[in-house]
């Protein structure tokens, strides 16, 4: 389940991509399939080891084209172990809402992104996320949980302040908002509640089968209750005099 829309965020074979805070690796895997040179980085060593196993399995199965590379590594988003201007593309999906120093993370992403490079940032959308916070303290008051809710204009202002130039936005995963509202209403750790189990089955069916009905429904509902807000931006080239 991808949050970044690669029709709006073009990726060329050979692009050097950083998936920052990669988690289980969903965007890193997609970039690898598209022929990129991928670095998946996360502070969670257990998840990174799983991502590395999946990279190896994809290579063995021939899922990635010739020339594509994939590396999984532990790292700190506030102190990236890469030189300036290292990547053509940076993706950070559902991460910034966890990090106290979000300006610091943005500064590091801008530092390692090449001039002319592209960045995709996704965060929980304000409205659906606010409902979750209202329904349940346990949803966000956990170690490593969400510490802020971004309004769209706040995130775009942060992006501009970091020296990036936004060029597009959209919302995603409308069908997932009601699931999390149910989870918050019945208890975030209570997976046995009938409404939660029933809706989870619907989401699994949708992800596995991709039926037209749910695809169309989600496209129609995304502007209203999309769970994620997605922003795309570029790093401007320096004026010739400065360069």
Q: At what angle do helices 194-209 and 176-186 cross, to 10 degrees?
A: 160
Task: Judge whether 232 and 169 are in contact, CB under 8 Å.
Answer: yes
What's the rounded Cα separation, in Å, for the pair 80 and 241?
28
Position 243 scores a pLDDT of 46
Region 210-237: mean pLDDT is: 96
Quick one: what percent of the chain has pLDDT higher than 70?
Answer: 98
Beta 87-93 vs 228-234: how paired, if at all? unpaired
pLDDT in tens, 92-142: 999 999 999 999 999 999 999 999 999 999 999 999 999 999 999 999 988
Nearest to 231 by CA among 2, 44, 4, 1: 4
Cβ atoms within 10 Å, residue 5: 13
Full-prediction pTM beyond 0.85? yes
Q: Does the pLDDT value for residue 237 go beyond 90? A: no
For residues 155-170, give the mean pLDDT. 98
The string of pLDDT tens digits covering residues 39-77 is: 999 999 999 999 999 999 999 999 999 999 999 999 999
Rounded to whole angstroms, how far apart are CA atoms 50 and 180?
25
Place of tokens 């992403």: 109
- From CA 110, how far away is CA 202, in angstroms rounded? 39
The structural architecture, per CATH, of the domain 75-134+143-171+226-233 is: 3-Layer(aba) Sandwich (3.40)
């Amino acid at each position: 389940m991808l949050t970044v829309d690669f029709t709006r965020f073009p990726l060329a074979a050979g692009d050097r991509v950083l998936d920052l805070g990669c988690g289980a690796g969903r965007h890193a895997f997609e970039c690898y399939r598209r022929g990129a040179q991928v670095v998946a980085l996360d502070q969670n060593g257990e998840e990174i080891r799983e991502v590395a196993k999946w990279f190896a399995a994809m290579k063995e199965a021939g899922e990635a084209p010739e020339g594509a590379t994939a590396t999984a590594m532990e790292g700190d988003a506030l102190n990236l172990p890469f030189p300036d201007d290292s990547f053509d593309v940076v993706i950070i999906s559902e991460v910034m809402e966890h990090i106290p120093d979000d300006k610091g993370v943005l500064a590091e992403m801008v530092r390692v992104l090449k001039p002319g490079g592209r960045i995709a940032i996704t965060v929980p959308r304000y409205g659906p996320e606010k409902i979750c916070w209202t329904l349940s303290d346990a949803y966000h008051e956990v170690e490593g949980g969400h510490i802020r809710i971004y309004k769209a204009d706040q995130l775009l202002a942060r992006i501009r302040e970091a020296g990036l130039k936004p060029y597009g936005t959209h919302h995603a995963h409308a069908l997932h908002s009601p699931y999390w509202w149910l989870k918050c209403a019945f208890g975030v750790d209570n997976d046995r509640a009938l409404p939660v189990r029933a809706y989870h089955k619907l989401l699994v069916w949708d992800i596995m089968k991709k039926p037209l009905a749910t695809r169309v429904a989600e496209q129609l509902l995304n502007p209203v209750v999309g769970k994620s807000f997605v922003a795309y931006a570029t790093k401007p080239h320096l004026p010739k005099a400065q360069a």
